[in-house]
Amino acid sequence: MSLIHIDLGIKDYKETWDLQKETFTDKLNGLNDDIIFTVEHNHVYTLGKTGTRDHILINDKEMSEKGISYYEIDRGGDITYHGPGQLVVYPILDLNRFYKDTHRYLRDLEETVILTLANLDIEAHREEEFTGVWVGEEKICAIGIKVSRWITMHGIAFNINTDLRYFDKIIPCGIFHKGVTSVGKITGKTADFKLIKKLFIENFYKVFTINDKF
């Protein structure tokens, strides 16, 4: 078995979620290699299993008028936004090949983002209370996963050139007192999305190779 990267380009959330579920089911049945999907979504808010609809600050009519989709989904975590300029990554992995440790998996996803930002001379870190990756007091990458029988799905949302105004209409990840940021906001210019995606995939392989399973 190997790890295959598939870039989906720009796709609506529902289409990609269906693809994830199909791939996840195949993995549960012992089919397919491990796969890492990368994608940009059209504007969408997604609410995880531990979230509350109260953290959405606009109503359905306003969402429709702004062209924003909404889905309640089966990952952990609260409300988040996906949209153009954001690198979304969905690893469908069999953790039996790596380690049976969900917390370690989350930390390894964070480490991949931290290394990628370091490649861009941006210093990022973890916050003890929260999952995700932070630059200063602002979140640059949200993480929400599902693991069943040690097969993973869902993943990360990494703000590259994201229009951060869409976060104003939610309480991101249910965190009231911290903001969000992006590579573009930090550097003051449009970031090279393709380069950052390439760096992320390279770092993903490095982090998971360090775990001696590739």
**CATH number, domain at 197?**
3.30.930.10
Query: Given a cut of 60, is residue 213 above it in pLDDT?
Result: no
Active site residue 141: no
Residue 108: domain span: 3-210
Give pLDDT, residue 1: 53
Instruction: Say if CB 100 and CB 42 are below 8 A apart.
Output: no
pLDDT in tens, 124-165: 999 988 889 999 999 999 999 999 999 999 999 999 999 999
- Kindly name the residue from 173, 180, 183, 191 that is annotated as catalytic: 173
Instruction: Say if CB 52 and CB 43 are below 8 A apart.
Output: no
Distance CA 4, CA 126 (A): 27
Portion of the chain with pLDDT greater than 70, in percent: 93
pLDDT in tens, 8-36: 999 999 999 999 999 999 999 888 889 99
Say how many domains are in the chain: 1
